[in-house]
């Protein structure tokens, strides 16, 4: 009955109702994917060829994973999102996509590590949706994003939190930065950093990776699936 009301509202142009219905459809879609492919709940990629990918591992990888988990990557939107899930057990769907993409395609870490973290920290955890979301982000799932689609964490921040309100809520140490600089503190001038009483590497971490360089490494990493000459076709 509620879904029926939402459908009628969506036909009348209610964007919120349409989004809610869309999320229900995704939920049911992932129910079906898991039902017919139970192996994905056992650490297998929906697309078997993606299990050939060699993810970054070792002590440095563990350090990067800890930085991601604790919101210490040096990328404000990522860190604010991780602060939100750690403090509240919730994270907006857009942020789930962005932090998942960052883990897999910026840090080069196995999506299964992020899947497990979400499973133990999300209040609304549901197996099929969580697995489906992570396999979507890593491009290994059913109807997943293309392997070359790699979210730019700064661009995403500027687009979806233009005034930095979300970042300031969860990262108050960045509150003194301008709406422009808060998305990429490392690009702020020394004068602005001093005015904001911010010391990169002390009161807030420097970026753990360079996005542009990480992006190229990811395209090479995915070459085992799509060929050694795989190139990006979009820069979201």
Active site residues: 23, 26, 55, 93, 111, 134
Secondary structure (3-state) at 200 = strand
CA distance 20 to 4: 12
CA distance 127 to 75: 28
Residues found in the chain? 236
DSSP state of 196: T
Contact by Cβ (8 Å): 141, 149: no
Contact by Cβ (8 Å): 232, 215: yes
CA distance 236 to 232: 11
């Amino acid at each position: 009955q509620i879904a029926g009301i939402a459908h009628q509202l969506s036909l009348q142009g209610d964007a919120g109702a349409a989004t809610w219905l869309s999320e229900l459809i995704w939920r049911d879609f992932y129910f079906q994917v898991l039902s017919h492919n139970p192996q994905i709940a056992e650490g297998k990629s929906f697309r078997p060829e993606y299990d050939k990918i060699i993810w970054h591992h070792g002590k440095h990888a563990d350090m990067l994973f800890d930085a991601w988990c604790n919101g210490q990557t040096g990328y404000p939107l990522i860190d604010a999102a991780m602060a939100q899930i750690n403090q509240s057990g919730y994270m907006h769907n857009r942020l789930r996509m962005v932090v998942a993409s960052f883990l897999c395609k910026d840090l080069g870490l196995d999506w299964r590590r992020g899947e497990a973290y979400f499973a133990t920290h999300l209040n609304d955890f549901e197996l099929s949706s969580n697995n489906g979301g992570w396999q979507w982000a890593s491009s290994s799932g059913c109807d997943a994003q293309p392997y070359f689609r790699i979210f730019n964490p700064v661009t995403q921040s500027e687009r979806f939190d233009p005034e930095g309100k979300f970042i300031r809520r969860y990262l108050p140490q960045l509150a003194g930065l301008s709406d422009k600089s808060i998305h990429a503190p490392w690009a702020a001038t020394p004068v602005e950093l001093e005015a904001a009483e911010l010391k990169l590497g002390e009161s807030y971490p420097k970026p753990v990776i360079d996005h542009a360089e990480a992006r190229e490494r990811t395209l090479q990493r995915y070459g085992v699936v799509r060929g050694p000459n795989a190139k990006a076709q979009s820069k979201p």
